[in-house]
Structure 1
Amino acid sequence: MPDDLKLNKPWLVAVWPGMGHVAISAGYYLMAKLGMHLLAEFSARELFDVEHVEVKGGLIRTGRLPRSRLFVWMDPQQRHDIIVFIGEAQPPSGKYAFCRRLIEYARELGVERVFTFAAMATQMHPEHDSRVFGAAAEMGLRGACLLGEMPHIFAQLPFPKASLAVLKVFTMIADIEIDTAELSEQAQAMEEKLGEILAEVERAMEQQMPTEEEDSLGFELPEAEGLSPEDERLIERLFEQARRDRSKAYELKRELDRLDVFDGYEDRFLDLFKKPD
């Protein structure tokens, strides 16, 4: 953390990739809409294994380890600043040690409350409202884990409705306001898509015509395709808009997710939130 940065009663929100992209989507949305900037990089390299290599110019190089970064929003009303921790991945082992180290770092920053976002899979129907469940924190810091409800049969698909529900609860607790219109539209669009999928599944079950090529839900998910020149131009235009106005960053992320290329652009996306020199 920069030596000259003074935080005012900060709260920490920690998110990682997980089921339904519930936590990570909520974290990115909060970060974008509050116009946060990069605070620090959190190092825990020894807890991650090298799982792949990269080939460039005929040379094999060790694959990049997942990064973990913290972004900050300074509350203009001076009630409590908010720090969002975004981890690119959870360590394959040592998760508890990782979390303890993060909490210790949070204490050094003066964090007074800790929140994590997550998903909870239930028997809910995609058309129903997502509930939010809570779990208490430990280690002497006040806080909670907010879990957004999502349908268990779609656990491998994004479910923005749960992200929206979690954000509504958190912003109510934190007494802050953000524009959730984009996330609401995304949630509505996904609800309609999942409703269509369920209808297809029900028809397939009625016809009793499953095939080996179908997945466990009775339908095949579309495969990601390469970027077209039009897609590349759109991405560059959205990057430029987000560079000028960080509140536009979530629109960019939504498009990168739609094109299934966010992993390749993640570092560049997060660079948008670096504090200007």
Structure 2
Amino acid sequence: MALKLFEEPKLENPVMIASWPGIGNIGLVATDTLKVQIGAEKFGEIEPWDFFYPKKITIRGAVLESLEFPACTFHYKRLPKRDVIIFAGEEQPTDGRRPFAEGKKAYEMANMVMDVAVKFGCKRVYASGAAVSLSHHALKPRVWIATSSEALNREMTGYDNTVLMGRGEGRNEGGSITGLNGLILGVAKKRGLESVCLMGEIPDYLSTAPLPYPRASKSVVELMARVLGAEVDYGPLDEMASHVDEIVTGIYDKLPPEIRERVEQRKEIIQRKAEKITEEEGKWMKEHIDDLFKKGDQAA
């Protein structure tokens, strides 16, 4: 396994933003949007062969032409307020038993990403993922915050539309962040860097849905843009969100009335302790989610 750098840019006071696929692909869509909008340039990659199986094999004229692996790339951009390195992994290394990374390969990849952060003088690393919450798809998703220190918590919750992890539903509880979007925070702290996780809210009843949730990605991008002092055109993200909203509405309209009634109450009590859907209701949704999405997509 190897880290390949095509260029060694001179960066001033950079931060790193890292993301991998996860629930609703909230973090990955956010970082990809930011990367495109600020015009970040690719300068390196992590070679994938020791981490992943090929995702596609190309044959031309009955001859093997290429193996296509998930990409793990580094981009950079010099900005007036602070420079930024963006790492995006198309897949999390896994042993096949779980959808999110764990074990030796995950730890090795996290350290390789941190090698780049340290090499270019990053003092802080941001990761981005999803926060499954008792929210409602018609409400603006908030960004849940988890950091490596109380001082960072105070700094990050000074931005609009943020809430500390575990307190988003009127509770003062801890929690866990699965996969590399969480592991990278611990590795960063171990290596002496500040770390922040930005988690866009996704309603619990959409957390197993096989589609992105760009409304939450937009909330994360808005926060990233404020941190970096970057200008972002949200048009493409809004267009994606509009399409997904149509599908979600089609699905939601087909939920059993008792589930819809329970979820609708959240619009009024979101700042208090919202009510979970019951275990039986959750089981029903998992069993029917694929059928609901087929019907919802047809309706949209």
How many residue pairs get matched? 216
The question of whether the paired residues in 2 share the 8 Å contact of 1:201 and 1:218 is answered with: no
Deviations 1:67-107 (A, max 9, x none): 211111111x2x32111111121111421221122112210
TM-score of the superposition, structure 2-length normalised? 0.63
Distance 1:151-1:60 versus aligned 2 partners, 3 A rule: same
The question of whether the paired residues in 1 share the 8 Å contact of 2:55 and 2:68 is answered with: no
Shift in Å, 1:204: 11
Alignment of 1:1-277 (within 5 A): 1=5, 5-50=9-54, 53-60=57-64, 63-75=67-79, 77=80, 79-93=81-95, 94-136=105-147, 137=185, 138-139=189-190, 140-155=192-207, 156-202=210-256, 215-216=288-289, 218-221=291-294
Deviations 1:180-235 (A, max 9, x none): 233234324423431222112337999xxxxxxx843652527x9xxxxxxxxxxx
Amino acid in structure 1 at the alignment position of 2:143: V
Distance 1:220-1:95 versus aligned 2 partners, 3 A rule: same
TM-score of the superposition, structure 1-length normalised? 0.68
- Mapped to 2, the partners of 1:28 and 1:21 lie a distance apart of 10
- Mapped to 2, the partners of 1:215 and 1:57 lie a distance apart of 43
SS of the residue aligned with 1:97?
A: helix
- Mapped to 1, the partners of 2:60 and 2:258 lie a distance apart of 46
Gaps of 5+ in 2: 96-104, 148-184, 261-286
The question of whether the paired residues in 1 share the 8 Å contact of 2:251 and 2:293 is answered with: no
For residue 239 of structure 1, what is the aligned residue in structure 2?
none
Amino acid in structure 2 at the alignment position of 1:73: K
The question of whether the paired residues in 1 share the 8 Å contact of 2:38 and 2:230 is answered with: no
For residue 164 of structure 2, what is the aligned residue in structure 1?
none
SS of the residue aligned with 1:21?
A: helix
Amino acid in structure 2 at the alignment position of 1:219: L
- The root-mean-square deviation of aligned C-alpha atoms, in Å, is 3.0
Amino acid in structure 2 at the alignment position of 1:165: S
Amino acid in structure 2 at the alignment position of 1:216: I
- Mapped to 2, the partners of 1:4 and 1:119 lie a distance apart of 32
For residue 229 of structure 1, what is the aligned residue in structure 2?
none
Distance 1:183-1:173 versus aligned 2 partners, 3 A rule: same
Amino acid in structure 1 at the alignment position of 2:28: I
Amino acid in structure 1 at the alignment position of 2:226: M
- Mapped to 2, the partners of 1:185 and 1:61 lie a distance apart of 36
Distance 1:3-1:41 versus aligned 2 partners, 3 A rule: closer
Residue identity (%): 25
- Mapped to 2, the partners of 1:3 and 1:218 lie a distance apart of 48
The question of whether the paired residues in 2 share the 8 Å contact of 1:66 and 1:88 is answered with: yes
Shift in Å, 1:30: 0.4
Amino acid in structure 2 at the alignment position of 1:97: E
Amino acid in structure 2 at the alignment position of 1:96: Y
Deviations 1:100-144 (A, max 9, x none): 221122101211211111112223221112121122232211121
Amino acid in structure 2 at the alignment position of 1:56: R
Shift in Å, 1:54: 4.1
Distance 1:170-1:4 versus aligned 2 partners, 3 A rule: closer
SS of the residue aligned with 2:44?
A: strand
Shift in Å, 1:21: 1.9
The question of whether the paired residues in 1 share the 8 Å contact of 2:247 and 2:293 is answered with: no
- Mapped to 2, the partners of 1:84 and 1:5 lie a distance apart of 13
The question of whether the paired residues in 1 share the 8 Å contact of 2:73 and 2:88 is answered with: yes
Distance 1:87-1:109 versus aligned 2 partners, 3 A rule: same
Distance 1:56-1:197 versus aligned 2 partners, 3 A rule: same
